[in-house]
Amino acid sequence: MDARTLKPEEYFVESEPYYEPVGDEIEIFEVAYRNQLPILLKGPTGCGKTRFMEHMAWRLKRPLITVSCHDDLTASDLVGRFLVKGGETVWVDGPLAAAVRAGAICYLDEVVEARKDTTVVIHPLADDRRVLPMEKVGELLEAGSDFCLAISFNPGYQSVLKDLKPSTRQRFIALEFNYPDAELEQRIICAESGVDADVAGRLVRFAQMTRNLKGSGLDEGASTRLLVHTAKLIHSGIEPVNACRAAIAQTLTDDADMLTAVNELSASLF
Per-10-residue mean pLDDT of the chain, 270 residues long, equals: 57 94 96 98 94 98 95 92 88 94 95 86 95 93 97 73 82 96 97 98 98 91 97 98 98 96 96
Q: At what angle do helices 182-193 and 224-235 cross, to 10 degrees?
A: 40
Residues 73 and 108 in one domain: yes
Residues 90 and 203 in one domain: no
Residues 146 and 221 in one domain: no
Q: Which of 134, 159, 176 is the last residue of a domain?
A: 176
- What pLDDT, on the 0 to 100 scale, is given for residue 8? 65
| Dist. CA 124–CA 51, nearest whole Å | 27
- Which domain, by its residues, includes 261? 182-269
CA atoms lying within 13 Å on the CB side of residue 114: 24
Residues 131 and 236 in one domain: no
Kindly give the pairing relationship between strand 39-42 and strand 80-85. unpaired
| Dist. CA 130–CA 37, nearest whole Å | 9
Cα Rg for the chain, rounded, in angstroms? 21
Residue 3 included in any domain = no
Sequence-distant (≥ 6) Cβ neighbours of residue 255 within 8 angstroms: 217
Residue 2 included in any domain = no
- What pLDDT, on the 0 to 100 scale, is given for residue 87? 83
- What pLDDT, on the 0 to 100 scale, is given for residue 85? 83
- What pLDDT, on the 0 to 100 scale, is given for residue 106? 97
Residues 110 and 152 in one domain: yes
Which residue from 232, 167, 174, 162 is spatially nearest to 49, judged by alpha carbons? Answer: 174
Residues 160 and 190 in one domain: no
Residue 44 included in any domain = yes
Q: Which of 176, 191, 212 is the last residue of a domain?
A: 176
- What pLDDT, on the 0 to 100 scale, is given for residue 246? 98
- What pLDDT, on the 0 to 100 scale, is given for residue 3? 42
Residue 59 included in any domain = yes
Residue 211 included in any domain = yes
Residues 91 and 60 in one domain: yes
Q: How many CB atoms lie within 10 A of CB 45?
A: 17
- What pLDDT, on the 0 to 100 scale, is given for residue 1? 36
- What pLDDT, on the 0 to 100 scale, is given for residue 164? 84
Residue 28 included in any domain = yes
